[in-house]
Amino acid sequence: MKMQVVVMMLLFVATSAGAAGITIGRFSAGDLTGWEEQTFRGKQKTAYALVPDGNRSVVRATSVRAASGLLKKVDIEAKEVPILRWSWKVGAIIRNGNARTKAGDDYPARIYVVFPRTFFWRTKAISYIWANHLPKGSSTPNAYTANVMMVAVESGSALVGKWVTEQRNVYEDYVRLFGEEPPKVGAVAIMTDTDNTGSEATAWYGDIFFDPR
């Protein structure tokens, strides 16, 4: 049940970080400091592991009818360091994935940016996805809650098997998607999930940073 996944992701946020160029994940150095596995009752776990990729390390996610993530708590003013940078690679898309339905709400790779508030039901998040079929550049509410907006940073199989470097202005995305000023970023998570479609997926995640404009 993906609602449980989304709610747990939104609830598990709090503290740590600063400003002026912030490293969220230094996977290339074999460092998972501060990253915590997020599992969900009744769900198989996606397996996350540091693996070699040339002369660096990356996080490989292997999901078999599973849903879990790795999450790092932060405390970041998105207006001060709005640029989120990361790299990723996927082994394949999920053919029967569909961003607009609960039954199809699975992705080979995604990065959550969570914006907590005092009351958890007001917490919001942006989920940057490698979409299966949703057109690149488009966005849609999550099939389970409008408090999570899905943004298709990549889509389809054209770049499967290739490392892709991404950049998003999280501050501008939040204002555009939710029509308000964002609270602080409280967490960043990576997630590869295949529970709703009962399928399999493998993805690789490189370093993650927040930078000033």
Q: How far apart are CA 109 and CA 91, in angstroms?
A: 10
pLDDT at 119: 79
- One digit per residue, the tens of pLDDT, for the chain of length 213 reads 555 555 555 555 433 333 458 999 999 999 999 999 999 888 999 999 999 999 999 999 999 999 999 999 999 999 999 999 999 999 999 999 999 999 999 999 999 999 998 878 889 999 999 999 999 999 999 999 999 999 999 999 999 999 999 999 999 999 999 999 999 999 999 999 999 999 999 999 999 999 998
Q: Residue 162 has which token pair?
A: 């290739």
pLDDT at 18: 39
Q: What is the pTM of this model?
A: 0.90
pLDDT at 140: 97
Q: Give start and end residues of each alpha helix (H) in 109-187.
A: 170-178
- Taking the alpha carbons of 52, 54, 57, 60 in that order, is the dihedral positive or negative? negative
pLDDT at 17: 38
How would you class 135 by CB atoms within 10 Å of its CB: exposed for 0-12, middle for 13-18, buried for 19 or more? exposed
The structural domains of the chain, ordered by start, are 2-211 (2.60.120.260)
Q: How far apart are CA 24 and CA 151, in angstroms?
A: 20
Place of tokens 């640029």: 83
pLDDT at 19: 45
Q: How far apart are CA 213 and CA 80, in angstroms?
A: 8
Closest CA to 3 of 105, 117, 140: 105
**DSSP letter for each residue of 50-111:** EEEETTEEEEEEEEESBEEEEEEEEEE-TTTS-EEEEEEEES---TT--TTSSTT--EEEEE
